[in-house]
Amino acid sequence: MNQNELDSEPNKQNYSFIPPEFNTHVIRLSPTTINILKNNFKYKFEKFYEKLEDIYLNWSGTLDAEFLYLLIKVGVLTGKYKNVQKFKDDLKSFYDHPGIFAWFAGSFFREGNKFISTAQFYLDNISGISNTKNNDGQLYTEVIAWKIAFSTLDTAIGLFEDNVKLFTWELPYFLIIEKLIKAKKLKLAENYINQGINRFKLKNRLVQGKLLNAKGVLTRIRGNPVKSFDYFNLALDEIKSINGFSDVFLKSYIMFNMGTSALVCRYYDEAENYFYHVLEIHKKENITDLMGKGRIYFNLTNLNIRKGEYKKALKCLTIAEDIYTELDPLLKNPVTISIYTRKSIIYRLLGDYSNAKTILLGTINKLENLGSNINPIPLIEAQYNLALLKNISGKKKEALADLRDLLHMCSSYDYIIGISRILNLISVISIDLGNIVESGEMLTEAKAIINNLTDESSRLSIYLTEAKLVLIKENLNESEAILNSVLEKSQEKEISIKSRILLGNIYLIKGEISKSNSFFHSAIKIFRNENIKTNDYYLCEFMQIKTQILLDKINSDPSDLVNNLMQKVDYLDKIYTLAPSKSIIMEYLLLKAWIYEELNDFQSVEKIYLELERYESSNDFRINFLRSIGLIKTKLLTIVNSKKKFKINNDLILKTQSIIEEIKNSSYYLLEIEAELFEVLLCLFFNQRKKAIKKLRILKTSVSNNGMNLYLKDIKNVERLLGIKIEQKKDLMSIFPMINKISQLYYSEILI
């Protein structure tokens, strides 16, 4: 019913006791019903449904179809879904009233997938719909609206486009917009929102408030959560300005959306207050919006993940899981299934990689079984997190291939945040694979996206990757500045820990051992407070062992050094037994080899490198390089042990040169220093003194200019050997311990 029709109604004055937002929804109430309503109460909206229900339950005489229609509609619009459903038996008397059946179907809209067939039954049994199109535009609008709600996306869009000129009020707009936003068809959703605002803005302010709320949601999803608050506040202003009237259900929904935006903006206390306030409203007003309650606990899960309170997050997720599985017991809704992606993330953050992987594989299988005509984002998120786990486990090339496929999939959707995360993780993995140029290209693309958004968590994750890339390119001071900024701004424990790990490595390379040790210690303290043991925890433990050894060499009595080193080996072996992934086992072996080199126990070193060779499938460029160098050393030592005057076979020479060239071509500058130092030592080994001096001079200048003081110590030791002709085993053994002084520069999988 349009405004002109409403103005021409002879009984319009009789509706003055009804909340003004329902004037356009109420049609042809009988005079008896009007008098009952008029004489029995003065309304307040939040009590409007309860009063209507009370009147209906005490009704005497013939039931009024229009009153039942009003009762069910108000019940749905105020979130009293379950209350509405108890009038099922009364519907049998009104098969000829399409509005009653349409709104009764609508009562199942937020009740989950298990009721879709029930809703469709009522919609399919609506009689007189063809006549409704001609005779009553409002009822026709409502029937089509609820058909849109329970149809597939393509069918819903078709219904909307075919009938949009016939709609007399805004309900179909809200239902199609919500559907499009869920499916991440954001450009089309924005088009319909703007169309709705232009069409209905003069009709009533409640409609304007609802559309502004939808625009706020859209703005947040498109990566601007700060701007979304402007639309939410405008929406609340529209609602509050309607003659003191306040739609409690809509107000709570807007506040939920404000909480979600606050979460994205990292206003964690504010977000938590919004979510719990909405729960209080639902309880106080007896709003039976189970889907809304599930969303709140799902967001509280995300909030606690961000804060690093993973066990609390798991409790919230369990509540959300119970609600969603009650609504969707057959798991036909991708939103329900995405609960399990979150559960996998929590297990990953707790260091339980095996359970995390099992859950994700099951989640992906369920989502793929739903077919292609679903919201794709839950599947993209699940596959992205599986790629993260593959990266952690060492299957980096496989993870990279998966991420490139995901990037292609995302190109069909306006999922900007997702694209930036994928690009960032590709950049991280490319570093580990030695593809430094590609890493920089991916990072540049990710930064270009995130710089136009206000998602601070994604921004800090990208800066973390940038700091790592800058460090690899030998710019310690720039990397340090980026990391200090990230550490200052970060409110997430995960990002804070990773910043400390990288800062610890920077100070180690600078030769500031004590400061380096303190950063690793502070990161370990965070882990121990939460009793969590992830890959990063073990890496922090390993690096603290290394820095403590270096401090012992400076501060301890030399006679105690051997005993201290053996104690470190024992402690390292105890930690190793709990190592959660192959990549950590390899880091353990590299560190252990370095300790035995400090002990000059080359027989043990050889055994360790031979054991490390079993992990030849590793995709980690740095580990492969250090392992190859270690294996070459052991073979050289074997030759020395077998002959006084020794020869190096051509295969070994070619392999060594190949490794060094690969490093130089990779732009992985930190490893290039290692390679060049090794090359100098080989020149000494072959008595190529002039060549060694030239290479060492260039290397020393580069290292000195970049403040890499730990390398300078190694270079000075090599300088002392430049006049020595290497002919005896002891000379060779005095050189090679230097090669792994920094064998474990750093390692940290960046989890986004």
Q: Is residue 616 domain-resident?
A: yes
* Rounded Cα–Cα distance for residues 92 and 592 (Å): 79
pLDDT of residue 744: 30
Average pLDDT of every residue of the chain: 79
pLDDT in tens, 669-708: 777 877 787 777 777 666 677 888 888 888 888 888 777 8
Q: Is residue 502 domain-resident?
A: no
**Residue 627's pLDDT band (cuts 50, 70, 90):** confident
At position 596, the amino acid (one-letter code) is Y
* Rounded Cα–Cα distance for residues 426 and 153 (Å): 32
Q: Which of 546, 609, 539, 611 is nearest to 580 (CA)?
A: 539
Lowest mean pLDDT among 33-47, 344-358, 382-396, 725-739: 725-739
At position 21, the amino acid (one-letter code) is E
Length of the chain: 752
What SS3 string covers 695-707? HHHHHHHHHHHCC
* Most confident stretch, 489-503, 689-703, 714-728: 489-503
Q: Is residue 587 domain-resident?
A: yes
Q: What value, to the nearest 5°, has the Cα angle with vertex 79 and ends 73 and 84?
A: 50
The yes-or-no verdict on residue 630 having pLDDT over 60 is yes
Q: Which of 443, 545, 462, 506 is nearest to 746 (CA)?
A: 506
Q: What share of the chain in percent tops pLDDT 70?
A: 80
Q: Is residue 706 domain-resident?
A: yes
Tell which wins on pLDDT, 129 or 272.
272
3 state SS of 245 = strand
| Reduced DSSP (H G I as helix, E B as strand, rest coil) percent helix, strand, coil of the chain, to 5 | 75, 0, 25
Mean pLDDT confidence for 303-326: 91
Q: Which domain holds residue 625?
A: 562-752
3 state SS of 429 = helix
Q: What value, to the nearest 5°, has the Cα angle with vertex 531 and ends 527 and 537?
A: 35
Q: Is residue 699 domain-resident?
A: yes
Q: What is the CATH number of the domain that holds 661?
A: 1.25.40
Q: Is residue 344 domain-resident?
A: no
Is the Cβ–Cβ distance between 534 and 580 less than 8 Å? Answer: yes
pLDDT of residue 731: 46
Residue that the structure tokens 């043990």 belong to: 604
Residue that the structure tokens 């693309």 belong to: 445
Q: Is residue 475 domain-resident?
A: no
Q: Is residue 305 domain-resident?
A: no
Mean pLDDT confidence for 377-398: 90
**Residue 579's pLDDT band (cuts 50, 70, 90):** low
pLDDT of residue 640: 52
Q: Which of 87, 90, 80, 81 is nearest to 47 (CA)?
A: 80
pLDDT in tens, 542-578: 999 999 988 888 887 777 878 888 888 888 888 777 7
pLDDT in tens, 235-245: 888 877 655 44
Please count the structural domains in the chain.
1
* Most confident stretch, 36-50, 102-116, 475-489, 625-639: 475-489
Tell which wins on pLDDT, 479 or 70.
479
pLDDT of residue 117: 78
Longest dimension (CA), the chain: 117
Structure tokens at 60: 């005497």
Q: Which residues contact 202 (CB under 8 A, 6 or more apart)?
A: none
Tell which wins on pLDDT, 32 or 157.
157
* Rounded Cα–Cα distance for residues 211 and 221 (Å): 15
pLDDT in tens, 290-299: 888 999 999 9
